[in-house]
Amino acid sequence: MTDPFFFPAFEPVSAAAITEWVGGDLAGGPASATITGVAPLEDASSGDLVFFDNTKYLDALSDTQAAACLVAKKHAAKVPEGVAAIVVDQPYKAWGIVLGKLYPTAMRPHSLDGTIAGISPRASVDETASLEQGVVVEHGAIVGPGVEIGAGSLIQANAVLGAGVRIGRNSTVGANAVVQHALIGDRVILHPGVCIGQDGFGFAMGPGGHLKVPQIGRVIIQDDVEIGANTTVDRGANRDTVIGEGTKIDNQVQIGHNVVIGRHCVIVSQVGISGSATLEDYVAIGGQSGVRGHVTVGMGAQIAAVSVVEADVPAGARYGGVPAKPVKVWFREVKTLSKLAERGLGARDKD
């Protein structure tokens, strides 16, 4: 791994201390092993911490030169002799906990232009805006009339906050993001280029032309939501577009007007969610999938990548395909079609 020089170096820490951080057990290797860096399995050298969570990399694990490895109990015996094996239930989650302690500045965006505190003289902040203590507004940012920003929040360079927008505490609006007609909670992260609260796609269509229907709702983003770069969230048409607390949205996702997304959902890159769809709590949607308007995806349901949801999905179900259906049915269809195709090719070859 290239030296992460963009983040301050951490003080050396022992394998025993890391074991305590993650609530693990030291199953092998020296507890006094000193960790001075982090790296992938194949690139690690003496002093590095690694993690193992995918059997595809078993060979890399057996050859690693790391000082310590976060590993599940079932794979602990595969850790080379002399490497401290830190046994945990979920190695990747433990890795996240450790990195959060070693590199705390990587946990949320920080100032891009070096502004330590306060308002840049090259920012535009309306005199009617209300900013609590510790708010940072960087060069080129625009804060409109009546905007409210909570303590500790960061508005990065060239971001635009439209009239009446409210931002909670310790939140971040990324560079070149645009936020309008929106109420945003605490500890929210909007990455660069995000657009929140623009018109939904509302038109009364007809042969003589398409009449624009005013979109008069808002966007409500609850606490601890993170939205990836260049994602767009349209404001509601006649009610609010809502994103529930703790939901994580990847880059380049489109969320239409009146969509309601529950708590702690995960939406991967290039997903499109049409207007008035509802995702209940803990829904996960794989990349490049689409959700039709006015459907409901039930609590805890999972949608495979590159699928199209055209009807309601029951709670806890696993769906995939075009149109999306229970994965067992989908897999059976794919297998059957593959066999039919092979037979057809075989028959043609004989001719």
For the annotated catalytic residues, the residue numbers are 257
Write down the residue that tokens 């059957």 correspond to. Answer: 336
- Neighbouring-strand partners of residue 127: none
Instruction: Give the separation between CA 36 and CA 32, rounded to whole angstroms.
Output: 12
Query: Residue 95 carries which side chain, given as an amino acid letter?
Result: W
Q: Which two three-digit tokens encode residue 36?
A: 């001075």
Q: How many residues does the chain have?
A: 351
Instruction: Give the separation between CA 181 and CA 183, rounded to whole angstroms.
Output: 7
For residue 347, the 8-state DSSP code is: H
DSSP 200-265: P--EEEETTEEEEPP----EEE-TT-EE-TT-EEPPPSSS-EEE-TT-EE-SS-EE-TT-EE-TT-
For residue 55, the 8-state DSSP code is: G
